[in-house]
Chain A
Amino acid sequence: MAVITHDSTASGSRAIGVFKDLVSRPSGAIGLFLVIFHIVLALVSPFIAPFDYKLQNSALMLSQPDAVHWLGADHLGRDVFSRTLMGGREALLVTGVATPLAVIWGGFVGILFGLVGGRLDEVLMRVVDAFLSLPWILKMLVLIVTFGTGVEVLIPTLAFFYGIPVIRIARAATHDVIARDFVWAAKARGHGRISIIWRELLPNVLDTLMVEGAMRWSWMLLAFSSLSFLGFGVSPPTPDWGLMISDARGFMSFAPWGVIGPVIALSSLIIGINLTADALAKALGIDRAQKAPM
């Protein structure tokens, strides 16, 4: 039986085992390296960027890459290399905060309703279905256009909408666990609902939620950079890959270096997260059927 004990040393050694398994897979090692690389880069980039990201120099407008400006300059004469280094900060901050929030609220609601079941659960699932049938971009844009594009709007918006599919996953995982003997045993011992959720369900649903969280993170990043690309995310002059690609697109025919840097940076981060999520699922022994993003 794959029952997780509450003994801290045992769960600690399991985490180490999972980590070792994760790193021993090529996809996990490469993915984790990419993710950590980007996180470190986001933290140190303000100190190592060779130029000020908002310094405009009209003499350099759309100039080619050279020894000083490694990736050339953009349409406002800003150093593309410095901006590419810093372009993931906002995205990582927003999605890094919103992903745990989404998993926590979606996971909690899913577990709770999975446990309670009955009429209430039926109604909730219909509401979840209704939300899922609307395109993500419509739901998000309506809120963003109304309340603005600041971080304080983007984080709760992303966390709210990306938590909804988590409800479904957590509910299904709860249903799988709930039929097992140890939950009956806990009920028979007279434990309350909160105690059952916390001590019996959560430890067993946690693996699923972690993998789900990793996948949500990559989709959220995709959504965030798409929003920036469309002009609804980060506001200028803050450097952001989506926004940089959108800005540089117009000059692509004679200054393609403006898109190459952010394209490689953004793709490598998203691929890194995906590889890590895949390897994590395998390391945790979760058979994750590939699903289409919402």
Chain B
Amino acid sequence: MLLMLIRRLLLGLVTVCLVSLIIFAGVEILPGDACTQFLGEYQADDELLAQCQKDLDLNRPAFDRFSEWAGGAVTGELGLAVDGKTKISTIVGDRLQNSLLLALCAMSIGVPLALLLGVITGLWRDRMPDLIASTLAIFAMTIPEFVSATLLILVFSIWLGWLPGIVLTSASAPAAEFFPEILLPVIVLSMVMCAHIMRMVRSSVIEVMASDYVQMATLKGVPYWPMVFRHALPNALLPAINVVALTIAWLLGGVVVIEVVFNYPGLGRLMIDSISDRDLPVVQSIALIVASIYVCVNLAADLLTMLANPKLRTMYTRK
């Protein structure tokens, strides 16, 4: 198991390195660079362009710059934004914090609800609670986030006037100030993630309940509920770890649309703002951070699954 662990860690590391290469190469290949963006209409002036490229170190070989950038990233030093003044780590840090807050709130509602609903729908398969929850889940999963967000704003913020429909707090404000503005985006996010996790848990519960050892336990006369709680659920909930991990990665990097709809100052909005502004250093940093989160979270999920899996656990203790 230790070997497997090391192998997984190394693979994760390789993936992150590849990501950084892809990001860097992508930015290099695309036409235009930080200087053409910075100079705007003055970029036709060769002298200015050369001076700027010299100032920003863009005339050095790509490999040198890559190793410097990657080296800096390891120590958390991400360099300067394209305006040449702001430190990227400050901008990104604030936004990452806000994204974490949003993700944490959404998960604290979404995950328990999803597990509960998944188990209920799995145990009462094809009966009323299952049909209702599964149908709702299909809606929550398929309807685009901007559509459900827009509808929720229309109903709860405009018609009923219960909740603020847009976030006006500034990006660097402390977490507490985001309430209650954060509530609607949290509801949308937890709805979507709840649907995904619920579907996964449901099919896993159904699979486990049909398995040989559950049949065996039933035949041996184990009462239904103790059997469900002691034998079925611990195994049925294992696959949920991986889906939850994917959801965390998605919450921290992929909720651009919701952040835009609610004007929430998270990592996603910073991402599309800096892409629109062609602020490539910031784009590179965000991409690297988000990809690293994705790899780490998935790695953690794999490790947790390994630890929780009786087969692998006993293999380890026996050795």
Chain A residues engaging chain B, CB cutoff 8 angstroms = 126-127, 129-138, 141-143, 145-146, 218, 222, 225-226, 229-230, 242, 245-246, 249, 252-253, 256, 259, 263, 266-267, 270-271, 274-275, 289-290, 292
Contact = CB atoms under 8 A, between A and B. Distances in A.
B144 interface: yes
A190 B256 CA distance: 52
A142 B147 contact: no
A249 B283 CA distance: 28
B135 to A, nearest CB: 10
Given A133-B295, A142-B26, A146-B32, A226 B196 contact: no
Contacts of A130: 15, 18-19, 22, 291
Given A137-B272, A142-B27, A142-B275, 19 more contacts: A129-B15, A133-B295, A134-B290, A135-B254, A138-B286, A225-B144, A225-B146, A226-B146, A229-B146, A230-B257, A230-B260, A252-B153, A256-B154, A259-B151, A259-B154, A267-B143, A267-B144, A270-B144, A292-B196
B150 A249 contact: yes
Nearest to A229: B146
Interface residues of B, number: 54
Interface in B188-224: 196, 199-200, 203
A11 B217 CA distance: 44
A267 B147 contact: yes
28 contacts: A129-B15, A130-B15, A130-B22, A132-B294, A133-B295, A134-B290, A134-B291, A134-B294, A135-B268, A137-B254, A137-B268, A138-B287, A145-B276, A146-B31, A222-B144, A226-B144, A230-B257, A242-B146, A245-B146, A246-B146, A249-B150, A259-B151, A263-B147, A267-B144, A267-B147, A274-B141, A292-B243, A292-B247
A276 to B, nearest CB: 12
B142 A271 contact: yes
B100 interface: no
Contact of A270 (B22, B142, B151): B142
Contacts of B153: 252
B132 to A, nearest CB: 15
A226 B142 CA distance: 13
B11 interface: yes
Secondary structure class of chain A's binding surface, majority of residues: helix
A266 B271 contact: no
Given A136-B254, A138-B290, A222-B144, A245 B196 contact: no
Contacts of B30: 142-143, 146
Interface in B232-277: 243, 246-247, 249-250, 253-254, 256-257, 260-261, 268, 271-272, 275-276
